[in-house]
């Protein structure tokens, strides 16, 4: 059962789905991207425990966002932070991503329509992409070339959006709750020599997002 907040501001907003691309060996999923055909079924007991943990974490995120007065709707301020992060790094796509029922991009920067690049929507399955890894590990994940590691190159969003590089950092409240991530993706791989700079940009951008979400009290 999904956690349902009482305040309608905290229900993820409907958005146009991400563009779905046909791929060999894939079947279309419900969220615009694709799910590997013939994926292994998780042990039922482990799956139930994982779902219970996710529901607890989801409830904690909603409670914290409500207490802080933060809406889960897309916002111009978060879009600006996503754009600034992408421009600093030289990436095509930038996201401020809250982990709710779905990954919810309250901040989004991407190429304009008609540019020839994939135009993504404001939501994505909570299991897709590399941001779930960032949330689980609670620290930045720099992938200068996603194909350099078999563990990450098999992610189905690689082909769906044509990603070659990913950099993400977690959004962690001082109380310990992980609200989501900031991340960058691009169809071009990056050099190892530039990876530290880009990683630092995502970490600094995550700190800016948290300053906006939960500003530090003014000391008198």
Q: Residue 97 is inside which H or E element, if any?
A: strand 93-99
Please, is 74 exposed, middle or buried when counting C-beta atoms within 10 Å of its C-beta (0-12, 13-18, 19+)?
Answer: middle
For residues 5 and 2, give the distance between their C-alpha atoms in angstroms, rounded to a whole number. 10
Nearest alpha carbon to residue 186 among 106, 117, 107: 117
Q: What angle do CA 118, 108, 113 make, to 5 degrees?
A: 35
For residues 154 and 119, give the distance between their C-alpha atoms in angstroms, rounded to a whole number. 21
Q: What percent of the chain has pLDDT over 90?
A: 61
- Number of continuous H segments (helices) and E segments (strands) in the chain: 6, 8
- 25-35 per-position pLDDT tens digit: 333 332 333 32
- 55-100 per-position pLDDT tens digit: 888 999 999 999 999 999 999 999 999 999 999 999 999 999 999 9
| More reliable by pLDDT, 46 or 17 | 46
Q: Looking at 110-164, which runs of residues are DSSP E strands?
A: 123-124, 141-143
Q: What percent of the chain has pLDDT over 70?
A: 79
DSSP category for residue 214: S
Binned at pLDDT 50, 70 and 90, residue 47 comes out as confident
Q: Read off the pTM.
A: 0.78
């Amino acid at each position: 059962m999904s956690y349902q907040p009482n305040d309608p501001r905290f229900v993820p907003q409907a958005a146009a789905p991400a563009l779905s691309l046909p791929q060999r060996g894939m079947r279309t999923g419900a969220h615009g991207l694709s799910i590997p055909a013939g994926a292994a079924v998780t042990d039922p007991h482990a799956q139930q425990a994982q779902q219970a943990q996710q529901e607890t974490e989801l409830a904690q995120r909603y409670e914290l966002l409500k207490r802080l007065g933060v809406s889960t709707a897309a916002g111009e301020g978060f879009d600006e932070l996503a754009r600034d992060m992408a421009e600093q790094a030289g990436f095509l796509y930038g996201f401020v991503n809250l982990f709710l029922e779905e990954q919810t991009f309250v901040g989004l920067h991407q190429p304009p329509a008609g540019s020839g690049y994939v135009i993504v929507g404001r939501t994505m399955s909570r299991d897709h992409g590399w941001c779930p890894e960032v949330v689980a590990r609670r620290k930045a994940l720099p992938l200068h070339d996603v194909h350099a590691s078999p563990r990450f190159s098999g992610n189905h969003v690689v082909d769906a959006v044509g990603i070659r590089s990913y950099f993400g950092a977690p959004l962690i409240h001082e109380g310990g709750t992980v609200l989501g991530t900031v991340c960058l993706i691009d169809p071009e791989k990056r050099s190892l020599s530039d990876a530290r700079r880009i990683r630092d940009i995502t970490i600094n951008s995550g700190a800016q997002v948290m300053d906006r979400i939960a500003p530090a009290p003014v000391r008198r």
